[in-house]
Amino acid sequence: MVDRVEIIEVSARDGIQNERTLLSLEDKLELISRAVAAGARRLEVTSFVNPARVPQMADADALVPALPRGNGVSHIGLVLNERGLERAIAAGVDEINFVVVATETFNRRNQGVPVAATLEAWARVARLAQENGILAGVTIGASFGCPFEGEVSVARVVELALAVAEAGPHEIALADTIGAAAPSDVRRKIAAVAAAAPEIALRCHFHNTRNTGLANAVAAVEAGVSRLDSSIGGVGGCPFAPAATGNIPTEDLVYMLERMGIATGMDLDALIETAHWLGGKLGIAPPGMLQRAGRFPPPPPEAGAHAAAG
């Protein structure tokens, strides 16, 4: 098991993309700034997709240039095609995350084309990103189950991992887009992909739709994965997957990992405060649990007063 986990904060992208309330550009910038202040160093900040389909991401071209630079922070933009990559390059992202979905039906719903066409687009996007000095990673969506086609086999995930590996991604993420996985599924698929493409780092993206997200995160860490996605407050979901609810909450994940003796470099009190702030901006009670219960043991009184003042 790894002794340190890098958390990729996705609240500004996957976290808010399915919310009815549209955050202003200023609120998105504050969310990202709060996450960085809490210790996040890799953040998915937006998607360069069709704003008519995902209006929450309509300001992507203005958001990225407005982000502060430095402090070792890497801003990731999600792209689905070459047009999205062109926009991401112009905006000035540090990394791009491309998506191919494991099943034909879901890929067509998400990207409007068959999987084969998405793989061809990925090869072109990866080459152009690398030519422009941008790290290119790829996520295999619905790796653990599809709302339209059901179970996704280990063989299918390995097949896609080998296909995307040909373009030389710096990492491959396995995404449980609809929160269908159990820890046994996670262990099997991580082991199979790691054996098939041992030279490529693995990352995992879990949703908590069926309350297995944190258990799956533990299984991933035990299987050797040291990169996990999470979203402050546990907000999130996919607009094109029925009943796909929130990501695993960053603050809950940090609490669990650090109680296990696994370092994250994140400030738990700042994360809890930001979860409350984000819930207020979205007009919801975020699904994360730690923001309700508080961490254990509680912070010293002076730390709590400082956090409240901040």
Give which of 237, 241, 174, 251 is closest to 208, Cα–Cα: 237
Task: Give me the catalytic one of 5, 57, 89, 238.
Answer: 238
- Asked if residue 87 belongs to a domain, the reply is yes
pLDDT in tens, 48-99: 999 999 999 999 999 999 999 988 999 999 999 999 999 999 999 999 999 9
- Asked if residue 149 belongs to a domain, the reply is yes
**Rounded CA gap, 255 and 235, in Å?**
17
- Asked if residue 1 belongs to a domain, the reply is no
Q: What is the pTM of this model?
A: 0.94
Tally the domains of the chain: 1
Question: CA-CA distances (angstroms) from residue 90 to 42, 127, 175, 176?
Answer: 20, 16, 27, 30
- Residue 146 annotated among the catalytic residues of the structure: no
pLDDT grade for 298, boundaries at 50, 70 and 90: confident
- Asked if residue 190 belongs to a domain, the reply is yes
pLDDT in tens, 192-242: 999 999 999 999 999 999 999 999 999 999 999 999 999 999 998 777 777
- Looking up residue 216, the CATH number of its domain turns out to be 3.20.20.70
82: CB partners within 8 A, 6+ apart: 121, 124, 125, 128
- Asked if residue 132 belongs to a domain, the reply is yes
Q: Which domain holds residue 278?
A: 6-309
pLDDT in tens, 104-157: 999 999 999 999 999 999 999 999 999 999 999 999 999 999 999 999 999 999
- Asked if residue 100 belongs to a domain, the reply is yes
The β-bridge partners of 206 are 176
Q: Rg of the chain's alpha carbons, rounded to an integer?
A: 18
Structure-derived torsion over alpha carbons of residues 129, 132, 135, 137, reported in degrees to the nearest 10: 0
